[in-house]
Structure 1
């Protein structure tokens, strides 16, 4: 979640009956400070939730990690971050329950003098007629998160710039908040864990940029930061920030939420019965198919046991390295820079007949989308050629049958090129109805040219 200022409002604690924690500290909550907007119009909240898509959570796929031989690094990394219990959590997910929670959730702190530990925060929400609440400390205990005292990741400007510069060890470039690309990260295990974190602690349309919070979470095991933020509080702020993000969306854009299982766990923990809502499908594994979709890797057709990892070279260029790779450093050693030898880079293209043996050694076929893409290009080229011939024939016919005054060419006009086609048939050029169809979008784009 990007750094931002939260407005504070002094509002008495709701007096209605609540579920969850005991009321032994009820007096401490006689007056609380809410974080973010508290007075919400239910109609506006409902309208905002229409722009939120609730999708199944993303879970770690151990089989994929074994194939890439990065399972040990990923599990060690997650354990050092204190996220093992959270990522292993198994709960049913409900779209309606998640939207109901997000439309009513609020975050508050008691009005005490002095700095308040992050764990003293209180998360308030409503499901049906039941009011629920859970403290940030209890939230951390529920998900196994370290109960740090800091509200945010804070460092003085000099230390922050030094920390941002250390990002060059991770991604071969200094860190720029919400501008640094995930694809610049060199170590595949770190990129994999970032994907898990971005779908849990963030609510954003695109996961291809690294936010400030993600930077601090990812670098915590390797860089000594001044303050470690309470991850339970960051998660709570993500919950209350969904409404604002949804309201700010323009047009028909949608916001994607993939942490419904966490909300289910919270609701069950405070003792609220879940209504008879329809559950979402099973969690989406972050497997080979998902990694291909986010341009993480691709299958190498010459050896099905190896995979093409998109490795960043410089500030913009990308090459391919085959995984598993014996030179990937172990994160346990504290080394986060993966730098393969230059001769191990591959070019994602097909072999040509005039390629030299040296070039062929560096050429691989990604295999998954290339054949279909080439077929599509060839078919589109045939359509364009066919349309050109058809237009030429049509112009010639119209010139022949139309009155001469309608076609009065200039002195520089030339006859359109028309090869000897014999009996020309549009159907014969495009194929019969049984041929593979072309996407309507691509076909229509050529028809209007």
Structure 2
């Protein structure tokens, strides 16, 4: 087993420069984070906070740090994770493994327990989230529509503003994807965990169980970070490639004692009002100083709701998760309230 790992490390060292060059050739852009003032302006701040806490991602999203191109590329090109033996784990409270990486050519080591504390993750034993496919389909049908397909279903199908914004946060930061118009399986799994304490059952009445093995968020995050080097290498001849994960790596560099020169950093980006407009969360034009949220109403079809509108957008209590606000609250449907009112003699 040790010989196999040694050979694997030699292969990694051989490919290190190739990986680094492929990563460095990408456009290095800021890592975007949820923007408090924007969430307050949309009336979703407290609800987004609750969902992120349910996912055990509140601390992860709290850092708002800049990123460093050379250090990020070096980290991603060299990072590996290792497992402790059962005997070592019995004596050490360090999680079930550790990662190694290079920073300015120096080998750094940080164990899983340190990383879990750093990001506020719960202790996890598994390597992946164990949520049944049928449950993901039921959850997607509850918050969006029938028929979830990873990387093909559209983020705009998510009806409620709170979860639409949370998804953008996941796609831009935890998964740090270039194109965030679709939704992948990992993002739906996190949304499942985010709404589980709010609604115990999907709209068909079946129980939402969430992650059955309580794997925690660390290994899924590390798997995501490990994927960048091979993805960058395999697409090295393509144009328009972007690398936006640097802000996620910066806290790890700090925890490992790496000195950072802030004058050479790429500042954090924000999911502000401009971001919401360009990413189709709200219309570019405002109406009477309020924002128009576009979604597909279960009864009325393509619709718009003015924000802030906390009575109908809050997820606390679980009443609005399936998001079907009264028709008279929709832009262009105001007359329907008068039609419903009884005439007085």
TM range (shorter): 0.7 to 0.9
What's the counterpart of residue 257 of structure 2? 271
By how many angstroms is 1:244 displaced? 1.2
- Greater RCO between the two (CA within 8 Å, min separation 6)? 2
Q: Is 1:73 aligned to 2:57, yes or no?
A: no
Alpha-carbon displacement from aligned partner over 1:63-111 (angstroms, at most 9, x marks no partner): 1112111111111111222212121114332112111211111122235
Counterpart of 2:4 (choices 7, 10, 20) is 10
Pick closer, same or farther for the CA change 1:118–1:202 going to 2, 3 Å: farther
Q: Is 1:136 aligned to 2:112, yes or no?
A: yes
Indicate if the aligned counterparts of 2:176 and 2:245 stay in contact, CA closer than 8 A.
no
Separation of aligned partners in 2, 1:88 and 1:339: 31
Pick closer, same or farther for the CA change 1:264–1:250 going to 2, 3 Å: closer
What's the counterpart of residue 312 of structure 1? 296
Alpha-carbon displacement from aligned partner over 1:361-416 (angstroms, at most 9, x marks no partner): 9xxxxxxxxxxxxxxxxxxxxxxxxxxxxxxxxxxxxxxxxxxxxxxxxxxxxxxx
* Number of corresponding residues: 316
Tell me, what secondary structure is at the counterpart of 1:332? coil
Indicate if the aligned counterparts of 2:110 and 2:256 stay in contact, CA closer than 8 A.
yes
Separation of aligned partners in 1, 2:5 and 2:287: 65
Supply the RMSD in Å over aligned alpha carbons: 3.2
Indicate if the aligned counterparts of 2:95 and 2:112 stay in contact, CA closer than 8 A.
yes
What's the counterpart of residue 145 of structure 2? 172
Indicate if the aligned counterparts of 1:107 and 1:237 stay in contact, CA closer than 8 A.
no
By how many angstroms is 1:189 displaced? 0.8
Separation of aligned partners in 2, 1:10 and 1:174: 42
By how many angstroms is 1:173 displaced? 2.3
Q: Is 1:328 aligned to 2:312, yes or no?
A: yes
Tell me, what secondary structure is at the counterpart of 1:200? helix
Tell me, what secondary structure is at the counterpart of 2:295? strand
What's the counterpart of residue 47 of structure 1? 21
Choose between structure 1 and 2: higher helix proportion.
2
Pick closer, same or farther for the CA change 1:327–1:206 going to 2, 3 Å: same
Which has more radius of gyration? 1
Pick closer, same or farther for the CA change 1:119–1:167 going to 2, 3 Å: farther
Pick closer, same or farther for the CA change 1:107–1:40 going to 2, 3 Å: farther
Q: Is 1:256 aligned to 2:232, yes or no?
A: no
Q: Which runs of 5+ in 1 are unaligned?
A: 1-7, 14-32, 348-356, 362-449
Indicate if the aligned counterparts of 2:71 and 2:104 stay in contact, CA closer than 8 A.
no
Counterpart of 1:291 (choices 259, 266, 276) is 276
Indicate if the aligned counterparts of 1:45 and 1:243 stay in contact, CA closer than 8 A.
yes
By how many angstroms is 1:53 displaced? 2.7
By how many angstroms is 1:341 displaced? 2.9
Separation of aligned partners in 1, 2:136 and 2:297: 22
By how many angstroms is 1:182 displaced? 0.7
Tell me, what secondary structure is at the counterpart of 1:126? strand
Tell me, what secondary structure is at the counterpart of 1:125? strand
By how many angstroms is 1:329 displaced? 4.6
Pick closer, same or farther for the CA change 1:215–1:118 going to 2, 3 Å: farther
Which residues of 2 match residues 411-422 of structure 1 at below 5 A? Answer: none
Alpha-carbon displacement from aligned partner over 1:161-201 (angstroms, at most 9, x marks no partner): 13422321111223222222110001111111111111222
Indicate if the aligned counterparts of 2:162 and 2:314 stay in contact, CA closer than 8 A.
no
Pick closer, same or farther for the CA change 1:93–1:9 going to 2, 3 Å: farther
TM-score, with structure 2 as normaliser = 0.81
Alpha-carbon displacement from aligned partner over 1:297-349 (angstroms, at most 9, x marks no partner): 02544401x1111112469x6332221225425322134111123344447xx
What's the counterpart of residue 109 of structure 1? 83
Pick closer, same or farther for the CA change 1:128–1:153 going to 2, 3 Å: same
By how many angstroms is 1:265 displaced? 1.6
Q: Which runs of 5+ in 2 are unaligned?
A: 197-207, 339-345
Tell me, what secondary structure is at the counterpart of 1:328? helix
Q: Is 1:231 aligned to 2:217, yes or no?
A: yes
Indicate if the aligned counterparts of 1:204 and 1:255 stay in contact, CA closer than 8 A.
no
